[in-house]
Structure 1
Amino acid sequence: MAAAEGAWSDLRTRLLSAAVLLLVAGFAVALGGVWFTLLVLVAVALMVWELVPLFGTAQMPVRGGLAALGAGSVVYLAFSQTEMAFLLLLTAPVLLAVRAARDRIAGFCYALAVLAAGAGLIFLRQEGLAAVLWLIAVVIASDVMGYFAGRMLGGPRFWPAVSPKKTWSGTIAGWIGAALVGAGFVIWADAGWGLVLLSAVTALAGQMGDIAESALKRRAGVKDSSNLIPGHGGVLDRFDAILGAALVWLVIAGTPLAGVLP
């Protein structure tokens, strides 16, 4: 009984924090434009700020400077899309790698992924409200279904060496939840049926984003990237799945697969 209660002990805090996040994000997503861009930039800056110490560099001036530089490069790329903007996007990841005390290549790659995903989210919102709602709904459905299925069903671990709490039951439930979201957008938003499969793939990418961040924290010897969000840890802990999902969007953008989006 005590073990069962422990598995759900953080649920109230998680739900309250999630409600606040959904409220803020919901207004920004609905309004779009400068408000959504501002939300993405704040999230990107905080994620870079949290990311830097995972590679052994905790000085506040370095963290703040890289966070500001990373967010600035994202907004410049999102609205100029020039060769200079793409080069500028590399600046913060390169500097993080230079300053890192360990895992320089991983630091560069992860920082670049954070910035690219941020730009991808801004691009996606420019495509319309339905597309970004789909992406967010896929990630939320995958996370919620995975959370409850994993705790209720348990079973074999998905990748115990990296993420001990993630189970196969929760992982597969996440794919199913994402596919159901895709089917909903097919029915109500006139999207292509390929969106069902794409939703499941996007959920998998989100789960891989979660696992990648878990691997970074394990190597750094920390439980959470920070304690900014009660019950969830840091911004990076909460939005790691969004990063993976947004990178899928960047991959399919400009290809025929993009035609199945709502």
Structure 2
Amino acid sequence: MALGQGSFADLATRMATGLVIACVGLAAVWAGGWWFTGLVLVLTAALVWELARMLGGGPRRALILGAMAGAAILATKLLPVGFALPLAMAVPLAGVALLERNRRLFITMTAMILLAGFGLILHRDSFGLTWMLWLVLVVAASDILGYFAGRILGGPKFWPKVSPKKTWSGTVAGWLGAALVGWAFMAKTGSGIELIGISVALAMASQMGDIAESAVKRQMGVKDSSNLLPGHGGVYDRFDGLLGAAFLLVIVESLTAFPPPPL
């Protein structure tokens, strides 16, 4: 099958930026503690800043909301959960006062961003390096295999009005990649077979996060959430999938035993 001209035109820039992101991210994941918390703090602040800008908050108000989000993540590390969560939930409510439009969208998505950020820190602190790497690899496998399968295999579009480049072939390839990661970690850790299903579900949540961000960008008439990351657009463009997976993982870990025990 012939590839369309320019199918991989952005690949070199994308891979170079991705390599830097991967090195910084993996170093923070490996170190854990305040290094990982600091990374999540910066990412969360950037995500809320980008979201507020996309929704028409203006530079100054977007900066205030981003700083509040970063402070809320810091509070989750310094304070007991019962005190930190109200501070985190105050950030989306502050958007009601600071934004003149799109308030409901900001409230919903900011609450998800903050809970996902809190969930990432809790997951790393509670389950350690191995299970943090599992989460990162599930999202990465879904994203990378989906990217290449979609461009090489092509085929029917997943939801062309929202995400014109996403195909069913790439979507399913992402599920398969996540299943392979789940199988590998099941074999390595002795966990139950449910880990494969959880991995696929997280890949689906990752794809939903991607679609949700694409829908916001299309509604607001912007191509990228910002231009902070060459080849990727903004921080939200790069980490929307991880946010979706982390948000679901908070729910999974609160509802069932994790890691899943052998049957």
TM-score (norm 2): 0.94
Which string of whole-angstrom CA distances, capped at 9 and with x for unpartnered residues, describes residues 65-107 of structure 1?
1111111112212443343322111111111233223321111
The worse-fitting range, judged by mean Cα deviation, of 91-100 and 203-212 is 91-100
Q: Which residue number in structure 2 is paired with residue 178 of structure 1?
A: 178
Corresponding residue of 1:112: 111
Q: AA paired with 1:244?
A: G
CA contact (8 A) 1:75 1:119 kept: no
1:257 Cα deviation from its structure 2 partner: 4.2
Q: Give the Cα separation in 1 of the matches to 2:133 and 2:106.
A: 30
Question: Which moves more between the two structures, 85-94 or 8-17?
Answer: 85-94
Matches of 1:206 and 1:97 in 2, distance apart? 27
Q: Distance in 2 between matches of 1:222 and 1:3?
A: 27
Q: How does 1:210-249 map to 2 (within 5 A)?
A: 210-249=210-249
Q: Report the equivalent of 2:255.
A: 255
Matched letter for residue 160 of structure 1 = P
Distance 1:93 1:114 in 2: 10
Residue 28 of structure 2 is aligned to residue 8 of structure 1:
no
Tell me which residue corresponds to 1:29. Answer: 29
Q: Secondary structure at the match of 2:57?
A: coil
Secondary structure of residue in 2 paired with 1:187: helix
2:197 corresponding residue in structure 1: 197
- Contact kept in structure 2, 1:139 and 1:245, CA below 8 Å: yes
Amino acid at match of 1:77: T
Alignment of 1:34-113 (within 5 A): 34-58=34-58, 60-113=59-112
User: Post-superposition shift, 1:261?
Assistant: 8.2
* Equivalent position of 1:19 in the other structure: 19
**What is the number of equivalent residue pairs in this alignment?**
261
Distance in 2, Cα, partners of 1:96 & 1:217: 18
Which amino acid in structure 2 is aligned with residue 188 of structure 1? K
Q: Quick check: 1:125 aligned with 2:129?
A: no
**2:184 and 2:137 mapped to 1: Cα distance?**
10
Please say if residues 78 and 123 of structure 1, whose CA atoms lie closer than 8 Å, have aligned partners that are also in contact: no
Q: Single out whichever of 109-118 and 76-85 deviates more from structure 2.
A: 76-85
Alpha-carbon distance in 1 for matches of 2:191, 2:153: 33
CA contact (8 A) 2:155 2:168 kept: yes
State which drifts further: 238-247 or 126-135.
Answer: 126-135
Please give the secondary structure, in 1, of the residue aligned with 2:254. coil
How well do the aligned residues superpose, as a CA RMSD in angstroms? 1.8
Q: Which amino acid aligns with 2:24?
A: V
Q: Does 1:167 align with 2:167?
A: yes
Amino acid at match of 2:124: R
Percent identity over paired residues? 47
- Paired residues of 2:138 and 2:177 also in contact (CA < 8 A): yes
Q: Secondary structure at the match of 1:90?
A: helix
In the TM superposition, residue 215 of structure 1 has moved relative to its aligned partner by 0.6
Match of 1:146 in 2: 146
Structure 2: distance between partners of 1:5 and 1:26: 34
Of 92-101 and 62-71, more deviation after overlay is shown by 92-101
Pick which of 252-261 and 7-16 moved more.
252-261
Q: Distance in 2 between matches of 1:135 and 1:261?
A: 17
TM-score by length of 1: 0.95
Distance 2:163 2:77 in 1: 33
2:234 and 2:18 mapped to 1: Cα distance? 12
Amino acid aligned to 1:197? G
Q: Deviations over 1:235-261 (max 9, x none)?
A: 010000000000111101233242328
